[in-house]
Amino acid sequence: MAADQVPFESLSDAEVMLRAGADDSAAYEYLVLKFHRPMIAFMYRMCRNQALAEELAQEVFLRVYRSRQTYAAEAKFTTWLYRIATNLAVNHARDHKVERSGKMVSLDEPDEETGTTLDVADQTLNAEQQILRRERLAAIKKQVMALPEKQRAAVLMHKYQGMDYGEIAGSLNLSESATKSLLFRAYEALRERLKEFV
């Protein structure tokens, strides 16, 4: 099988992106399809608006396309992708001074592989326990959304995207120690604000 006929699934995302940089449009489309839903979910968690999340995700992929020929696989592809996304979301929030509303949003988008959410009701709990659990989850979501943009992005990448410190550091363009400090401050703030639920 020729190198250009290797299925994208058997390549790393960085290798697929390098092929996209060599003007392989199928490689670019593969990455867009693979990361489209996770990117919209990430942007929705950042901006709390479905239409805006879709628009920002589209802008992320437009920037990926524009950068395809200069892409260098120095870090994981997802680190590079989420750096673009985080910068875009933080800049948009700053430029538009997005009002933080008290409106509740779901941070628990369905898992890409299993289709389940983190917030599925536990049938072993009684009615009172289920109500307390829902109140606790609602409070956590509200407080995560109230964090400053970089802290919120770091928490979302750490808890919801499953990224490690190195990947988050690369995405936020910070050192690993600065990232650990950022996450520590975010989790301390959450612990303080959520004392009654802990």
Distance between CA 81 and CA 42 in Å, rounded? 12
What are the tens digits of pLDDT across the range 172-194? 888 999 999 999 999 898 888 88
Q: Which band of pLDDT confidence, cut at 50, 70 and 90, is reported for residue 11? A: very high
What are the tens digits of pLDDT across the range 125-178? 677 777 877 777 777 788 888 888 889 999 988 888 888 898 899 888 889 999
Q: What's the CATH code, domain 9-98?
A: 1.10.1740.10
Exposure pattern of 30-43 as b/e (b: 16+ CB <10 Å)?
bbbebbeebbbbbb
Domain 117-198 has CATH 1.10.10.10: yes
Report the length, in residues, of the chain: 198
Give the pLDDT confidence score for residue 191 in this predicted structure.
86
| Per-chain mean pLDDT for the chain | 81
What are the tens digits of pLDDT across the range 39-89? 999 998 888 888 999 999 999 999 999 999 999 888 789 999 999 999 898
Distance between CA 60 and CA 43 in Å, rounded? 10
pLDDT at residue 99 is higher than 70: no
Residue 152, judged by CB atoms within 10 A of its CB (0-12, 13-18, 19+), counts as buried
Tell me the whole-structure pTM to 2 decimals: 0.65
Domain edges within the chain: 9-98, 117-198
Distance between CA 139 and CA 193 in Å, rounded? 9
